[in-house]
Structure 1
């Protein structure tokens, strides 16, 4: 049996997840169902931290920390938002409309991505990092994974924790899905350890790192840039997991390129 640890991304909190163990069990069930019979012989566990980043706030107004990240994300798409007034619905929709025009995607899909992703990213980088990393670190030490599969913001957490545990783990494969690690200004320069000379580093305890991104995934930008700023990363060809919503982890896990990469990682080390 090959030990795999899954690390989720944003918007994974459910009211029924009254404890991290319950949340982890729910995620494990969902991930196993998505993988189906495509990857036999695995022992999957999931690290759960969604409760640490959820917000009780409602409404259209964005926190200042979120505004900064959205502006930086927009600039990565070549959209300059600095002259816009306000930080509510109209501001977000104008930016998302401009990105949608450049990418050929529907504005509603882009806006959904922005509203679900950046608030949790902002909370992670402001006051959530320590708690989230401790939760994921404990799961890694407990499960001793041979493969780590990390989606979205989870790839940022995995990157940082694997660096911290470089002398304590031997990970055969790190598989990142829809990763924002290379996102300039918004994510890349905030990483720990910090990039040096414009480059990140593959964690020493990871033998192989493979990255997969949907062609329409607005979180995984700039396209093809991750391998350029993280030497040693293998980029699989861009895929299309679900045109209507190109960032969902379950759709990634169902895709043959992803299940194939996991299956290849379960072979003799």
Structure 2
């Protein structure tokens, strides 16, 4: 039996999630369906925090803080965002178009992801961190996972939550999917604990950390950087999970590298 804790990424709030428990149950069903029978003996629970970061705005328009993060993300792609005047829709589309060329994705897909991703990242670092970490650390202590699987922004939450718990847990595997943890300034330099001498901290209580990133995942940048700036990370970056949208968690969960890493952790117990 493998006790696995899932930590979701952005845009996972639904109006039907009237309690965190309902949201967690919905996501658990989705994740189990994606994993299928590839990981036998799995006891999966979800740490749900989407309600704490949901936007009060009904549109995906970016505000000033979001724009700053988009600029930092663009620079990680080698794009100079100052080359376009203003901060209107055309500016965002130009940057997303440039990223689409570099990643081999459709511009509309990149733009939609940017408008979903960065507002929640901004809210996490500005006002949501304390509440989210309280929710996630409580789930970790309650479930005592053998493995933690964290997607997208959830990998940032997992990193900070595991540091808060220090040596209270014995996690055989941390599996991060489509992680933005190495994204300079927008994420990496905002982490707690803060990086020192350009390096993140080794995670206490974690025996093995594997990072999986699709070759075209435009959120998980800079490519191959996670293993350089975080000690002990095993980087699996030369994979393709879904050419149409390479950042989706369910496609990551269906990939053999994910089930293989979880199964290997199970054998080591």
Both structures adopt the same fold (TM-score exceeding 0.5): yes
Report deviation, 1:202: 2.3
Report deviation, 1:145: 0.4
Report deviation, 1:83: 4.0
8 A contact 1:202–1:233 mirrored in 2: no
Tell me the distance in 2 between the aligned counterparts of 1:168 and 1:251.
Answer: 32
What residue in structure 2 maps to residue 209 of structure 1? 209
The total of aligned residue pairs comes to 269
Give unmatched runs, 5+ long, in structure 1.
none
Q: In structure 2, the residue corresponding to 1:163 is in which secondary structure?
A: helix
8 A contact 2:61–2:115 mirrored in 1: no
What residue in structure 2 maps to residue 110 of structure 1? 110
Are residues 1:230 and 2:230 paired?
Answer: yes
TM-score by length of 1: 0.97
What residue in structure 2 maps to residue 159 of structure 1? 159
Are residues 1:7 and 2:22 paired?
Answer: no
Report deviation, 1:201: 1.8
8 A contact 2:137–2:161 mirrored in 1: yes
Aligned residue runs from structure 1 range 257-268, under 5 A? 257-268=257-268
1:211-261 deviation line (CA, Å, top 9, x unaligned): 000011011001100000001000124211111110010000001111111
219-228 or 97-106, larger mean C-alpha shift: 97-106
Q: In structure 1, the residue corresponding to 2:204 is in which secondary structure?
A: coil
TM-score by length of 2: 0.97
Tell me the distance in 1 between the aligned counterparts of 2:60 and 2:233.
Answer: 38
Tell me the distance in 1 between the aligned counterparts of 2:241 and 2:183.
Answer: 21
Tell me the distance in 2 between the aligned counterparts of 1:89 and 1:81.
Answer: 13
Are residues 1:56 and 2:56 paired?
Answer: yes
Give unmatched runs, 5+ long, in structure 2.
none
Tell me the distance in 2 between the aligned counterparts of 1:212 and 1:192.
Answer: 22
What residue in structure 1 maps to residue 73 of structure 2? 73
Tell me the distance in 2 between the aligned counterparts of 1:149 and 1:202.
Answer: 17
What residue in structure 2 maps to residue 22 of structure 1? 22
Tell me the distance in 1 between the aligned counterparts of 2:20 and 2:4.
Answer: 18
8 A contact 2:242–2:251 mirrored in 1: yes
Inter-CA distance 60–247: structure 2 relative to 1 (3 Å threshold): closer
What residue in structure 2 maps to residue 37 of structure 1? 37
8 A contact 1:9–1:153 mirrored in 2: yes
What residue in structure 2 maps to residue 240 of structure 1? 240
